[in-house]
Structure 1
Amino acid sequence: MTLLLILGVVLVVVALVLLATALAPAESATSGVARSLAAIQAISIAPKELRDELDRPFAERVLEPLQARALKVGRRLTGADSAERIRRKLDFAGNPRDWSVDRVVSGKVIGALALAAVGLAFSLLLGVGLPMKILMVAGGLVAGFFAPDLYLYQKTYDRTERMQRELADAIDLMTISVESGLGFDAALQQVARNTEGPLAEEFSRVLREMQIGQGRAAALRALGDRTNVDDLKGFVGAMVQADSFGIPIGQVLRVQSGEMRVKRRQRAEHKAQQVPVKITVPLIFCILPCLFIAVMGPAVISIMENMG
């Protein structure tokens, strides 16, 4: 009887444990669903300001405040006259899309912090000492701060080179248009319509400025201020003087076209004369060592074998 009683108690305990185990997941699932429904209901009855804040894109909620803070810090670091200098650099670079003075200033600060963090991560990954860590972080800080300036410098250089190459052909087309009976404005429009590149964009901008009421001389002077190409500035000065003194435009364009072609040929000859000087360094350090190895190598191996 005692054994039967003990066995019955054990069976009852096992049954209770199994029942509790079976009921526990259902209760947890029910409570999880309840919590989800409560969260959805809380969001639906939340204030309108909170819901509008959550519905805004990530760029507006996070990136724009970050850029605003970086802009405040950047203005303190770059100085009061930096806005005019950066605006001039943007004009020389052709005003790249989505680039402005505020974006460049904030990009300096964000780039400095980002590259400093990258330098710190690399130093920790490589396991270098403290002086090297400081050097890598400082290098990333300086590189990130001046990265927008380097980008604008490269854009300016590429744009200047292309405008200098295309200027002679553009003036030739303008000369042919004027001599065929078109006016100077119509000749500018022909160049802007039938060519591509930064020079065509600048001529198109000159036409738009003239259409909104600005004088021809003022629009051409603004074109000269937006670029650092000396030949284009000389062309603008000649056109302004011709317009002021009543000189025939066709004659001035013919003279300017001849000068531009002579200058382009002189630049090509100058670069051709620089080739022997520029090729000296790779010739000494790259080509001649390989040539010596190919020529003297078998002889050196033969001498070593005979002496051995």
Structure 2
Amino acid sequence: MGNLLLVVGLVAIAVALVTIVMAVAAGAGETTGVARSLELIEKSLDHREVSKSDLPLMDRIVLPALAKTRSLAARLSPAGAQDGLGRRLDLAGNPGAWSAERIMGAKGAALLVLALVGFLFGGFSLSGLLFAGIGGALGFFLPDLLLMNAGQKRQEELQRGLADALDMLTVCVEAGQGFDAALMQVAKSTTGPVAGEFARVLSEIQIGKSRGEAFSSLAKRTSVNEAKTFVSALVQADRLGLPIGSVLREQSNQMRLVRRQRAEAQAQKVPVKILFPMLLFIFPALFIVIIGPGAINIIDTFSKGGL
């Protein structure tokens, strides 16, 4: 027993000595003291050297996963799909947390997740493969549908707010403000997509773009016909040197006319839209209330007559 303990002790001492020698050899070539501190200060901190626990959840898990699934979505997408995503992002207002690359990654991730869910739902059979294919297709096109829906809602908000913003812009210009100052006033005083688009136009003008180029970029970022007409009129007035105030007044009158015509068209669609709810829900209830008591009396009369 004593010999066994002696052997174990000698082995432990040998392992400790080897560990110490290796540690000294590994650190022999490194600087120490003040030189090491200066070296750490001068060395730029790389993002990859940051501890994973110090990074937010988005940088630790979500972004690497989207980067891996982006290649899968890119292989399944037709040529030019990323340019189409950029166009839809412009219509949706370019949400700060999303880009075309991240949406492609989301498409690939949704494809894999919903395909797995469909396979688990259908089981290990032919129906499971069918459900997996359907789920994968839904997951692949789901981000496109959500982005398209966001773009449509934003364009509708821009269409509703453009007339009021144009009225304010006209009043500011006719009151004596410069056109750029009037744009800034409208961007500060209003909310919604119109304020954001006007603020972006001002930012592009400040970084060196001409007024015509900035407004032409606005026309490319929208699908609203009234906005395109307004931009076209402003660009022509800027090129020909026409007074901005009269152009804005004419565009404001035209915008109010278009808005009134659109409201009348929506009002004419109301009878058609309420027809089917009336047939499905209101008329059956009326028939029950009106005809129900008479039907009960008829049934009682025939039953008594049969007796």
The number of equivalent residue pairs is 257
Does residue 212 in structure 1 map to residue 211 in structure 2? Answer: no
| Counterpart position of 1:103 | 102
Return the alpha-carbon distance in structure 2 between the equivalents of residues 122 and 71 of structure 1. 26
Unaligned runs of 5+ in 1: 1-44
| Counterpart position of 1:197 | 192
Cα distance change on mapping 1:258 and 1:55 into 2, 3 Å: closer
Unaligned runs of 5+ in 2: 1-22, 27-48
- RMSD (Å), alpha carbons: 2.3
| Counterpart position of 1:237 | 232
Cα distance change on mapping 1:182 and 1:61 into 2, 3 Å: closer
Query: In structure 2, what residue type is equivalent to 1:69?
Result: K
| Counterpart position of 1:224 | 219
Query: In structure 2, what residue type is equivalent to 1:145?
Result: F
Return the alpha-carbon distance in structure 2 between the equivalents of residues 180 and 145 of structure 1. 53
Does residue 162 in structure 1 map to residue 157 in structure 2? Answer: yes
Question: What SS is found at the alignment partner of 2:177?
Answer: coil
Cα distance change on mapping 1:176 and 1:60 into 2, 3 Å: closer
Cα distance change on mapping 1:59 and 1:249 into 2, 3 Å: closer
Question: What SS is found at the alignment partner of 1:279?
Answer: helix
Moved more, 145-154 or 201-210: 145-154
Larger radius of gyration: 1
Return the alpha-carbon distance in structure 2 between the equivalents of residues 207 and 249 of structure 1. 16
TM-score by length of structure 2 reads 0.78
| Counterpart position of 2:140 | 145
Query: In structure 1, what residue type is equivalent to 2:91?
Result: F
Residues 174 and 188 in structure 1, CA contact (< 8 A), matched pair in contact too: yes
Identical aligned residues as a percent: 45
Does residue 180 in structure 1 map to residue 175 in structure 2? Answer: yes
Return the alpha-carbon distance in structure 1 between the equivalents of residues 290 and 156 of structure 2. 42
Residues 53 and 61 in structure 1, CA contact (< 8 A), matched pair in contact too: no
| Counterpart position of 1:85 | 84
Query: In structure 2, what residue type is equivalent to 1:283?
Result: M
Residues 206 and 223 in structure 1, CA contact (< 8 A), matched pair in contact too: yes
Question: What SS is found at the alignment partner of 2:269?
Answer: helix
Aligned-pair CA distance for 1:85:
0.7
Return the alpha-carbon distance in structure 2 between the equivalents of residues 153 and 219 of structure 1. 24
Aligned-pair CA distance for 1:56:
5.9
Match of 1:297 among 286, 289, 292: 292
Aligned-pair CA distance for 1:135:
4.5
Cα distance change on mapping 1:276 and 1:131 into 2, 3 Å: farther
Return the alpha-carbon distance in structure 2 between the equivalents of residues 200 and 214 of structure 1. 19
Aligned-pair CA distance for 1:53:
6.4
Residues 120 and 128 in structure 2, CA contact (< 8 A), matched pair in contact too: no
TM-score by length of structure 1 reads 0.77
Aligned-pair CA distance for 1:90:
0.2
Aligned-pair CA distance for 1:184:
0.9
Residues 92 and 151 in structure 2, CA contact (< 8 A), matched pair in contact too: yes
Cα distance change on mapping 1:136 and 1:213 into 2, 3 Å: same
| Counterpart position of 1:276 | 271
